[in-house]
């Protein structure tokens, strides 16, 4: 069983999805650069399970947090805490070794739509970018 990491901070999208803002007011402009992948999505009994990896692929920086927004509402956030050797190989740097995440978000099934799920990674320097979904 994978460990589950969930963060307490909440976020909202503003400026037509171009700005991610934390509940404390910290704002992150969301770039078009890829910040990793959500590889597994499962909804079961009021819980949304998300597995994947996040790193700034353009600068090859580690990501400190991934925020998940579903149907325009904050679902949860997770800090990458799992080692991903495949991501090290893909990006060519050991700086992204701890880039994997596995999280379970409590969610009302009516609030979830897989095609309206947005995942955004935030790097240590505050840069932000979207995670793609593996189909």
Give CA–CA dist 126/135, Å, rounded. Answer: 28
Domain boundaries, the chain: 11-133
Give CA–CA dist 31/129, Å, rounded. Answer: 5
Give CA–CA dist 70/99, Å, rounded. Answer: 22
DSSP code string of 65-98: EEEEEETTEEEEEE---EE-HHHHHHHT-GGGSE
Give CA–CA dist 114/128, Å, rounded. Answer: 21
Per-residue pLDDT of the chain (135 residues; tens, 9 = 90+): 444 444 557 899 998 889 999 999 999 999 988 999 999 998 888 888 999 999 999 999 989 999 999 888 898 999 999 999 999 999 999 999 999 999 998 887 666 667 788 999 999 899 999 999 986
Q: In whole angstroms, how far apart are CA 6 and each of 32, 61, 89, 104, 105?
A: 25, 21, 26, 7, 8
As its CATH architecture, domain 11-133 has Sandwich (2.60)
Q: What is the pTM of this model?
A: 0.88
Extended beta strands in the chain, E state: 11-14, 19-22, 27-31, 37-44, 47-53, 55-56, 61-70, 73-78, 82-83, 98-106, 117-123, 128-130, 132-133
């Amino acid at each position: 069983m994978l460990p589950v990491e969930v963060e307490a901070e909440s976020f909202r999208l503003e400026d037509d999805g171009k700005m991610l803002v934390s509940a404390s007011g910290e704002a992150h402009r969301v770039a078009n650069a890829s910040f990793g992948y959500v590889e597994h999505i499962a909804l079961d009994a009021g819980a949304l399970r998300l597995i994947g990896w996040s790193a700034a692929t353009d600068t090859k920086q580690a990501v400190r947090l991934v925020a998940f927004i579903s149907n325009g509402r904050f679902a949860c956030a997770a800090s990458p805490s799992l080692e991903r050797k495949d991501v090290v190989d893909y990006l060519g740097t050991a700086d992204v070794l701890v880039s994997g995440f596995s999280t379970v978000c409590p969610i009302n099934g009516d609030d979830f739509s897989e095609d309206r799920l947005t995942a955004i990674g935030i790097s240590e320097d505050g840069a932000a970018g979207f995670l793609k979904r593996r189909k």
